[in-house]
Amino acid sequence: MFARQDCFFHVLGHPYKIQRAAANVRERKRMMSINTAFEELRLHVPTFPYEKRLSKIDTLRLAIAYIAMLKDILASGREPLEHIEESLRADTKGERVVIWNTSGKKDMNGPFSRKTRINFLSFGQAST
């Protein structure tokens, strides 16, 4: 009578193939988990509805900017939209650098691509 390992050995051929197949399954599960996490993160970062799905790197960069903006709002003690408008005006005039302002970084050296902009219009509203 064959042991369980013997059956696998005869089906797949070589023990290395068994290990490789198991590693491939683990890697697929890991990637599915990462992709699921990115999809969930994309749901929480405000973007414009007409934008294509953000890449992983753009999602991370936009999430970092969004967290920085929320931190800045909390530290200001002002109403969120009032603080955002005032900060963007000051950034445009060069009076203050706003690290979370993604709309002004359009050059190739900046950390954000054109499409990674925080949707300030929907700020504070529940995402759909």
What DSSP state is assigned to residue 49?
T
Total-model pTM? 0.63
pLDDT in tens, 38-87: 999 999 988 877 778 889 998 999 999 899 889 989 999 889 888 888 88
pLDDT in tens, 86-119: 888 887 777 777 777 776 544 434 444 444 455 5
CA 122 to CA 128: how far, in whole Å?
A: 11
CA 22 to CA 36: how far, in whole Å?
A: 21
For position 84, what pLDDT does the model report? 86
